[in-house]
Chains A and B, each alone.
Chain A
């Protein structure tokens, strides 16, 4: 049986734009988020408080955070890789933050230049500060179905990292198929292991569509009781590990599927498509959403 409701977590303005080549002007980012706020989405990841040296696209994090309309009932989490980022985020008005772990040692080393254990120590600092400020923290685990450096990732490792992040106080763990290599087979195996350590109500899936498997993988996750799904409007965000390939699954295509299954999301698909059209025009690129591609011409 499928969940009757699914919470869609929109990551386009952060994960999406972060992986787009063109730097998007601040007012466009703000317009994008404001438009998304009108679609019925309850969670919109707004930006990332990382150093602009690493992620130039997110250099305007403070301006974006301060510039957007924050509608009641909508959460605008931001990424905070460390205590410094956390403090900057809170100063800029953030009310929810996210931390990014990984199930792969090599990926962690290449990405943030430390081991998984060291990264968890850093996150602990953020957790402590967040708890003191009553700020909820969402935990991400990258490479849950495969790593661009290590290849295959054991489900047990994913479960171990997820458990640690949940135990340190993350209210939700988003399991990311970072390079989109997962299939319904590996998704099932991974979730079976993780669900032994983390309650399914605290789990989310973050699927990339690089190999076209995202919706099938999401379907399996839903069948296993997961009811939170991350997606990116217009499928924004390529894959940094495969030139020209796609990345995030498109929110429109996800909502289309959930609508067809009678699963409630609260999201207005037409408004979502309009928002996708807006940002694609601004980025001067075609949408990665098939629903959008098909609907424009009919």
Chain B
């Protein structure tokens, strides 16, 4: 490469480069977007405060959680998953679910879904002010058994109770399907099974189905096959992908999904949340890295990348950990050697 040290002094800071990349990421001309088949707009669902923090070892104080969510509310993100109304016995990180729900600022135009594994959690969520809920199914029997101690069928029954109650109160319900591209216990998961579970969730009234590569083992190959099967049962507009970056495949998998027309992507600020099934490995894909890619593709998200990076910086400082976002890593070191 050449005489690096002296060269470094004169190079553009990454802040500058990033700004330029963002400014020059002009939206593709209309005919090009159509030819490339990419959506013009992608909805980002931010799961950091729930999925992210849930998988962080350190218990985060309630006020920090609230501050994080408030900061995220100002970035342009249209949906932020706030907390989970599960028993604090199972998920201690989410024990302050009510305080968080009641404590956050609610920005107009931003949705604040919460997890509700059963009717009891649902009622608790509503009492605390929730206006949208999520239910979590799985495409793997073993995972379902190990995770929530019942079969897929039994879990569907529980979710139907939630869906019925929600419908009566005009509360939208989002459905998640875990292990869509592989299971830590069963290994390979058949696309038809993912399609079947998705269909059950959609039929009971979930407005959107988020397909989760829970252990991040998927690749563009398996993502394509799985989506082809699911798209036979669920309209494209009701699909989302929730990719984990445990094997570094998340952005390639997300790209594959959006090339097939998926227009909703879940991600986690600073890539919060490790993988409970592979010690030390990463989990959620970082929101910053997703937005960087979508900006470069000229796809509109409505999200301010800098603001997300700042929120990420905030929570990583509070957690005393390094960010998992490569964009953040590259950007907060402005290239000067000290």
Contact = CB atoms under 8 A, between A and B. Distances in A.
A18 B280 CA distance: 28
B255 A216 contact: yes
A73 interface: no
Contacts of B28: 185
B64 interface: no
Nearest to B20: A151
B17 A146 contact: yes
B219 A19 contact: no
B145 interface: no
Interface string B238-270: 000000011111011011100000000000000
Interface string A285-298: 00001110111111
A236 to B, nearest CB: 14
Contact of A213 (B17, B221, B275, B296): B296
Interface stretch (A87-95, A130-138, A243-251): A243-251
A152 interface: yes
Contacts of A293: 278, 280-282
Interface stretch (A27-35, A39-47, A257-265): A257-265
A110 interface: yes
B249 to A, nearest CB: 6
A115 interface: no
A239 interface: yes
Nearest to A218: B252
Nearest to A252: B248
A242 B330 contact: yes
B169 interface: no
Contact of B16 (A151, A296, A297): A151
Contacts of A250: 248
Interface stretch (B1-9, B106-114, B121-129, B136-144): B1-9
Interface in B293-338: 293, 295-298, 325-327, 329-331, 333-337
Contact of A148 (B3, B12, B248, B289): B12
Given A111-B1, A185-B25, A220-B255, A211 B289 contact: yes
A183 interface: yes
B24 interface: yes
A13 interface: no
Given A54-B2, A250-B248, A210 B221 contact: no
Contact of A180 (B282, B330, B335): B330
A290 B297 contact: no
B279 interface: yes
A149 to B, nearest CB: 5
Given A111-B1, A212-B292, A239-B330, A294 B216 contact: yes
B275 A111 contact: no
A96 interface: no
A158 B187 CA distance: 44
Given A55-B1, A216-B255, A294-B281, 7 more contacts: A146-B17, A185-B25, A210-B330, A215-B251, A242-B333, A245-B330, A296-B280
9 contacts: A146-B17, A183-B292, A212-B286, A213-B251, A215-B252, A240-B4, A257-B248, A290-B245, A294-B278
Interface of B: 1-4, 7-8, 10-12, 14, 16-17, 20-21, 24-25, 28, 36, 216, 218-222, 245-249, 251-252, 254-256, 275, 277-282, 286, 289, 292-293, 295-298, 325-327, 329-331, 333-337
Minimum-distance CB pairs A-B, first 4: A183-B296, A260-B219, A212-B326, A290-B248
